[in-house]
């Protein structure tokens, strides 16, 4: 799913305005976030999500594969989208922001027991998942547009 975004990033507009950057780079960033959130929240991908989280805290040989094939690529694309959105100001900061974005997404799986207990739920229905996605999108949008 990141291939079209990579193509967009390989040919950025010359000197886009802040509004043009927002229209160009924010939607694909939020689409990637939605995809990762879907994986973290879906019962069908529970084992895959748990594998990714386990490899984060206790890396094995599988971590290198996951990082090269998926995690590193997604982080790189998110960082580049942030970098372009903010007018190519600070690449290091964009990388830090990308990690923070992923943290906002991973918490829904990594802290699932606390999330469920705090929300007074046994499981997440489709309505709850939509609400979570909307809140995460709003948080990330506010964070990114505030820092611009």
* Rounded mean pLDDT for each run of 10 residues along the chain, 148 residues in total: 69 76 92 92 85 88 90 93 89 95 92 93 92 96 82
Per-residue confidence (pLDDT) for residue 147, from 0 to 100: 63
CA distance 143 to 21: 15
Residue with tokens 């967009």: 8
Per-residue confidence (pLDDT) for residue 15, from 0 to 100: 66
Per-residue confidence (pLDDT) for residue 50, from 0 to 100: 84
Q: Select from 45, 33, 37 the least CA-distant residue to 5.
A: 33
């Amino acid at each position: 799913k990141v291939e079209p975004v990579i193509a967009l990033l390989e040919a950025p507009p010359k000197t886009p305005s802040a509004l043009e950057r927002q229209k160009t780079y924010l939607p694909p960033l939020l689409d990637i976030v939605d995809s990762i959130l879907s994986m973290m929240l879906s019962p069908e991908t529970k084992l895959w999500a748990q594998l990714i989280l386990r490899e984060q805290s206790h890396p094995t040989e599988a971590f290198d594969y996951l990082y090269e094939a998926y995690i590193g690529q997604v982080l790189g694309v998110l960082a580049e989208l942030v970098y372009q959105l903010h007018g190519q100001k600070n690449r290091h900061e964009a990388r830090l922001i990308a990690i923070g974005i992923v943290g906002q997404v991973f918490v829904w799986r990594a802290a699932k027991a606390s999330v469920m207990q705090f929300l007074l739920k046994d499981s997440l229905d489709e309505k709850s998942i939509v609400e979570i996605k909307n809140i995460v999108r709003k948080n990330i949008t506010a964070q990114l547009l505030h820092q611009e």
